[in-house]
Amino acid sequence: MKYFGLVWRNAWRKKIRTSLTILSVFVAFLLFALLSAFGHAFKYGVEAADAERLIIIDKISLINLLPIAYQNRIKATEGVHSVTHSTWFGGYYQEPRNQFPQFPVDPHEYFAMYPEFKMPEEQFEAWVKNRTGAVVGRELADSFGWEVGDRIPIQATIWTKADGGRTWEFDIEGIFASDDPRGSSALFLFQYDYFDEARAFGQGLVGWYILRVERGADPVQVQNAIDTQFENSRNQTETSTEAAFAQSFAKQFGNIALIVTLILGAVFFTLLLVSGNTMSQSVRERISELAVLKTLGFGDRTVLGIVLSESILIMLIGGLLGIGVGWFVTRGIAVAAGAFLPGVYFSPTAILASIALMVGAGVAAGIFPALQAMRLSIIDALARA
């Protein structure tokens, strides 16, 4: 700590140069925070997946629907504990940009399948009794200011009503929350029976099935048993774990992890060049001063430490500012867009990783100039001064 004053003063020797370097570090780590938070959104479904839940979709495409008649056959399969279904409704609230997941479901089956969703018993009962009732996740209710008792019109983009209308109106009977911090409750759930009766087409069809395997049963065997069962049916099935399903769903948007890695790789490579150049210039400019320090008795390692600390300090200033602003921005995005893109989260793990990255980048950018300073010959350097 006693060298901090010296390190600090040296770091600000050229204020404009240091400020620009810090700005580039700031931008790099702001980007890191944002991409990390968005990356989390794309993989959070995988993290929150339940190992005992399997998803069954049409083998050809998720868009193809499956007959409701499959449910009993699936339930009768060995190793299956329970099964329910869901369907993509794909509507919006007021404006097309207000899109969020809306699913027609069987209330009892669905909430039994997702025990992490909690809501007051009386609200659940009220929903079951009201065919046009709906329940919404807390995140969704908060983002639109909905409360129990509100009547919410949802504009259909796929499912027109039998009377030709596109507006489906639902009464909010309850608000549920997820007690799994990794998961999202930004869902709008309503009764399948009402949906099936009122839609203009597709009666007796569902989007996908969700099943829970019996405790101790082998999920792979259950997967194979189900897919084999429907091998010769009109709609062949593809069964996968919830995690694999979430992963393949996320991949529809491209390989997010690879894109994020490539962008950050390019950004940090450039950052190392910029900050490495700054440190090299800084050391070159004060060769004689470093020689004076050595003359005064500063050892080789102390000089190495001083130069390296300077490089790390610059990274930490820019980096901490970057992730600080990034944290506020991602919090803002999570609140404003949590319903449409749940899981935007700059996690503590990512914060720790970014701090480690700052120190690592500081060492990488400063190590060669620092070694140059350490190996400096006092005689040669003073003679050159």
Partner 1 sequence: MTDILARLEGVSRTYQKGKERVEVLHNLDLQIPQGDFIAIMGPSGSGKTTLLNLIGGLDRPTAGTINVGGAELTSMSNSKVSHWRSTHIGFIFQFYNLLPVLTAQKNVELPLLLTSFNAKERAERAAIALDIVGLADRARHYPRELSGGEEQRVAIARAIVSDPSLLLCDEPTGDLDRETADEILRLMQILNREHGKTIIMVTHDAQAAEFANRTLHCDKGTLEAREAA
Does residue 241 contact residue 46 with C-beta atoms inside 8 Å?
A: no
Residues 267, 325, 351, 378: which binds partner 1 (CB under 8 A)? 378
Distance between CA atoms of 342 and 134, rounded to whole angstroms? Answer: 20
Q: How many CB atoms lie within 10 A of CB 319?
A: 27
Q: Are strands 80-86 and 188-191 parallel, antiparallel or unpaired?
A: unpaired
> Where does this chain touch partner 1 (CB under 8 A) — which range of 5-13, 211-219, 319-327, 352-360?
5-13
Among 60, 76, 336, 379, binds partner 1 (CB under 8 A): 379
Query: Which of 91, 31, 4 is closest to 265 using CA atoms?
Result: 31
Does 4 engage in binding with partner 1 (CB under 8 A)? no
**Pairing between β-strand 188-191 and β-strand 53-58 as defined by DSSP bridges:** unpaired
Between residue 277 and residue 306, which ones bind partner 1 under the rule CB under 8 A?
A: 288-289, 292-302
Provide the minimum distance between the beta carbon of 281 and partner 1 in the complex, in angstroms, as a whole number: 15
Q: In the complex with partner 1, which residue's Cβ is closer, 2 or 234? A: 2
* 19 touches partner 1 by CB under 8 A: no
Tokens of 15: 């204020």
Give me the torsion for CA of 229, 234, 236, 237, rounded to 10°.
-80
C-beta of 382: minimal distance to partner 1 in Å?
Answer: 8
Q: Would strands 102-105 and 117-118 be described as parallel, antiparallel, or unpaired?
A: unpaired
With respect to partner 1, which residue has the nearer C-beta, 97 or 301? Answer: 301
Q: Which of 2, 97, 129, 234 binds partner 1 (CB under 8 A)?
A: 2
Q: Which is nearer to partner 1, 7 or 22 (CB)?
A: 7
Does residue number 382 form part of the binding site for partner 1 (CB under 8 A)? yes
CB of 13 to partner 1, least distance (A): 5
Shortest CB 375 distance to partner 1, Å: 11
What minimum distance in Å lies between the beta carbon of 318 and partner 1?
A: 20
Kindly give the pairing relationship between strand 167-178 and strand 66-67.
Answer: unpaired
Choose between 194 and 298: whose C-beta lies nearer to partner 1. Answer: 298
The tokens describing 215, both together, are 């405790």
Look at the chain and count its residues. Answer: 385
Site string for partner 1, 329-368 (x = CB under 8 A): ----------------------------------------
What DSSP assignment string belongs to 22-33? HHHHHHHHHHHH
Decide: 169 and 30 in contact? Cβ < 8 Å.
no
Nearer to partner 1, 291 or 339 (CB): 291
- Least separation, in Å, of the C-beta of 354 and partner 1? 30
Q: Does 385 bind partner 1 (CB under 8 A)?
A: yes
- Structure letter (DSSP) for residue 14: S
Least distance CB 381 / partner 1 (angstroms): 10
Determine, following the binding rule CB under 8 A, whether residue 12 of this chain makes contact with partner 1.
yes
Q: Would you say 108 or 375 has its CB closer to partner 1? A: 375
Q: In angstroms, give the least distance from the CB of 49 to partner 1.
A: 55
* 175, β-bridge pairs: 136
Q: CB nearer to partner 1: give 212 or 294.
A: 294
Q: How far is the CB of 37 from partner 1 (least distance, A)?
A: 38
**Best CA proximity match to 233, nearest among 59, 367, 17:** 59
Q: Which stretch binds partner 1 (CB under 8 A): 4-12, 40-48, 120-128, 154-162?
A: 4-12
Q: Is 248 exposed, middle or buried (0-12, 13-18, 19+ CB in 10 A)?
A: middle
Q: Note every long-range contact of 256-265, with CB atoms under 8 Å and residues 24 or more positions apart, other chains counting.
A: 256/38, 256/39, 256/42, 256/43, 257/39, 257/42, 257/43, 260/35, 260/36, 260/38, 260/39, 263/31, 263/35, 264/31, 264/32, 264/35
Count of residues that bind partner 1 according to CB under 8 A: 25
Residue 328 C-beta-side C-alpha neighbours within 13 Å = 5
Segment contacting partner 1 (CB under 8 A): 228-236, 242-250, 266-274, 376-384?
376-384
Instruction: Report, in Å, the least distance between residue 369 CB and partner 1.
Output: 17
Residues lying near partner 1 in the complex (CB under 8 A): 2-3, 5-6, 9-10, 12-13, 288-289, 292-302, 378-379, 382, 385
